[in-house]
Chains A and B, each alone.
Chain A
Amino acid sequence: MIALMAPLYPIAFVVIAYAYLGAPRTTRQSRAVSMLGAIAGVAFLRLIGFVSTVFGVNAPGCYRCNIWQRPSQLALGFTSFAAA
């Protein structure tokens, strides 16, 4: 199951990047904060993945976290698109 969820990482990452950096801005507006936001978001998502895999060995409930994180992240990302 974990292996089958791995292909969702690229899509989730692109959604995060686009949600943060895809919004129209003039060249006078700084994009540093958006860039940091995108990187932090991706790092957080990946970290949850690693942590849930590591702890899932002893507590199988953690795998649920790993399985649900990407679909929920995708849903969150698409909602933020729609809002923008």
Chain B
Amino acid sequence: MRSSLVLVSLTAVIWVTQALRDIDIMTSQGQTILVFIGITALIIPLLVLVIAPIALLIAAAHVLNKLSNDSEIIVMNAAGMSPWILFRAFLAAAVVVSLLVGAISAYFAPKGLRMLRDKLTEVRANVVSTIVQPGRFRAIENGVTIHIRERRPNGQLAGIFLDDRRNPNERITVLSEIGELLDNSSGTYLGASEGDRAATRGDAARPRDGSLRSLRVRSFAIRGRGTGREILDPRALFVAAVISRSERSILSRAARPVPRRTA
């Protein structure tokens, strides 16, 4: 009983110090406090693994100290009781804690840490949707600038402007009314519809005569680099290629609706 009191209070204190290291998932990733608590609580089994024996020690030392103070131990000794008999009570408590620690170290702590890693990766990778802020021109990587007017509650982006100058031979500018970030097995896409995609051939700074090709499209997708969840650097998720209407097969794969993850 005493041991569990000590265990709970010590674990709470140390959990706070550990949880604050991941406070960025609330501040910069825009997650709710429930997600934050849910994710950081996964470290608790590991803390209990280290703290439970110490809590037991504190409880045992307290009880022994109290027994000594009340002259119980010396009376038991004077009555001829073997010290082993008193020790058996402590051993029983130790065995209970030992079973708990055994279960945690063999199963719960590794499982908790694995889940923690997975969830943190998911939340951090999801930063794609938070890097793009309404009303701000953001240079995502060299030569790519994006701007959106607003983010709708259903996850759609409205009023998208995208300028892609990474290819020296072709500058691509996209203006579209509605877009959505799509996540599937072949990568992360910015799908957009109701807009224009304008490609300028040649040196972007000095377009040749008649090189501007404007294409009015119903929808198109902009593909991210790499694939899905292996990506840890959120910036790597972003625009690598603009896929035009001629590549509709890729688009249709990209446009498959996907369940939104922790958002």
- Give chain A's interface residue range (CB within 8 Å of chain B): 20 to 34
Min CB–CB distance B147 → chain A (angstroms): 47
B52 within 8 A of A: yes
Within 8 A of A (CB), among B66-95: 68-69, 71, 73-74, 76-78, 83-84, 86-87, 90-91, 93-95
Chain B: interface residue total (CB-CB under 8 A)? 36
B34 within 8 A of A: no
A46/B86 in contact, CB under 8 A: no
- Counted as pairs of residues, one from A and one from B, with CB atoms less than 8 Å apart, the total is 97
Min CB–CB distance B2 → chain A (angstroms): 13
Complex interface: chain B residues within 8 A of A11 (CB): 91, 94-95, 98
A17/B64 in contact, CB under 8 A: yes
A3/B105 in contact, CB under 8 A: yes
Within 8 A of B (CB), among A25-45: 25-27, 31, 35, 38-39, 42
B43 within 8 A of A: no
B74/A25 in contact, CB under 8 A: yes
Q: Which B residues are closer than 8 A to A by beta carbons?
A: 49, 52-54, 56-57, 60-61, 64-65, 68-69, 71, 73-74, 76-78, 83-84, 86-87, 90-91, 93-95, 97-99, 101-102, 104-106, 110
Q: Which A residues are closer than 8 A to B by beta carbons?
A: 3-4, 6-14, 16-18, 21-27, 31, 35, 38-39, 42, 46, 81, 84
